[in-house]
């Protein structure tokens, strides 16, 4: 029996175009000025030190780090430091009403249904936990954060690493076979499956012929009660 569902965000609950055409440019335009002003203040000071460690350049200057962050943004690197900074910058955008967190219309009704059936709901995204809470706290459908029992980001591990899913199962406190992971990316689902999770792939756009995972176009097609554990 499925007792918990862990969902990805980008391409799963929310349109990739919202992340790439709204969120990422918003952070990109403000990143250099933000770091210049905040570099000696917490939490930015610690995040920059973490970035120095991540790139193994303990002496890197702020200007060099900004250059690295721009390169990371160009390649959509899921760097924990970049994700932390983006999350802080996005806060203003949500609070000022510049944008709301996109949700596909099929997501909220299904999350509510699963929650009412006693299934615990979690999020796992490369976006920082703070950024996840903002997206769901300021979503198209209002604040839906009360639906979630917990959030995981790259601090638990990378999304394509099997160990990340073992860590998530341990933290949730359930056997992996009773947890369903939802994502649009088959490499993430492969890793979750290798850890023992049940998997379902959201196909919100293009087909993925390279995937062997059960595929659905919408949350309304997912029936956890029919998935054997
Ligand atoms: C928390 S919203 C921003 C998502 C993000 O920054 C990202 O890189 C997308 O990662 P995901 O793991 O949700 O595909
Ligand atoms: Mg995704």
Which CATH number applies to 4-14+101-226?
3.40.50.1000
Structure tokens at 179: 């947890």
User: How many A from CA of 217 to the centre of ligand 2?
Assistant: 14
Residue limits of CATH 1.10.720.60 in the chain: 19-96
Q: Which CATH number fits domain 19-96: 1.10.720.60, 3.40.50.970, 1.10.8.60, 1.10.580.10?
A: 1.10.720.60
Name residues whose C-beta falls within 8 Å of residue 52's C-beta, 6 or more positions apart in sequence.
58, 59, 60, 65
Which residues form the pocket of ligand 1, taking CB atoms under 6 Å from any ligand atom?
8-10, 19, 23, 78, 83, 86, 125-127, 131-132, 135, 159
Q: Which ligand is nearest to the CA of 124?
A: 1
Atom of ligand 1 minimally distant from the CA of 78 = 8
Residue 5: how many CB atoms within 10 A of its CB?
23
Q: What's the CA gap between 164 and 116, in Å, rounded?
A: 28
Residue nearest to atom 2 of ligand 1 (CA): 127
User: The whole model's pTM is what?
Assistant: 0.95
ipTM of the modeled complex: 0.95
C-alpha closest to that of 83 among 161, 19, 169? 19
- Please give the chain's pLDDT, 229 residues, in tens: 999 999 999 999 999 999 999 999 999 999 999 999 999 999 999 999 999 999 999 999 999 999 999 999 999 999 999 999 999 999 999 999 999 999 999 999 999 999 999 999 999 999 999 999 999 999 999 999 999 999 999 999 999 999 999 999 999 999 999 999 999 999 999 999 999 999 999 999 889 999 999 999 999 999 998 887 6
Which ranges in the chain are annotated with CATH 3.40.50.1000? 4-14+101-226
């Amino acid at each position: 029996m499925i007792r918990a569902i862990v969902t990805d965000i980008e391409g799963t609950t929310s349109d990739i175009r919202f992340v790439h055409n709204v969120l990422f440019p918003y952070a990109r335009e403000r990143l250099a000025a933000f770091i210049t002003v905040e570099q000696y203040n917490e939490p930015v000071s610690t995040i920059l030190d973490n970035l120095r460690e991540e790139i193994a350049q303990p002496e890197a200057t702020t200007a060099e780090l900004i250059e690295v962050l721009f390169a990371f943004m160009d390649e959509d690197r899921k760097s924990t430091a970049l994700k932390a900074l983006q999350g802080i910058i996005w806060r203003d955008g949500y609070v000022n009403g510049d944008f709301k967190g996109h949700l596909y219309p099929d997501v909220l009704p299904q999350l509510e249904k699963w929650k009412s059936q006693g299934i615990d709901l979690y999020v796992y995204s490369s976006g920082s936990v703070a950024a996840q809470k903002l997206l769901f706290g300021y979503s198209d459908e209002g604040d839906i954060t009360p639906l979630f029992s917990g959030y995981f980001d790259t601090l638990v591990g990378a999304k394509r690493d099997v160990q990340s899913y073992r860590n998530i199962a341990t933290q949730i406190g359930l056997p992996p076979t009773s947890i369903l992971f939802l994502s649009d990316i088959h490499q993430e689902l492969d890793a979750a499956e290798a850890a023992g999770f049940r998997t379902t792939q959201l196909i919100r756009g293009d087909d993925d012929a390279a995937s062997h995972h059960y595929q659905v176009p919408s949350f309304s097609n997912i029936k956890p009660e029919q998935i054997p554990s």
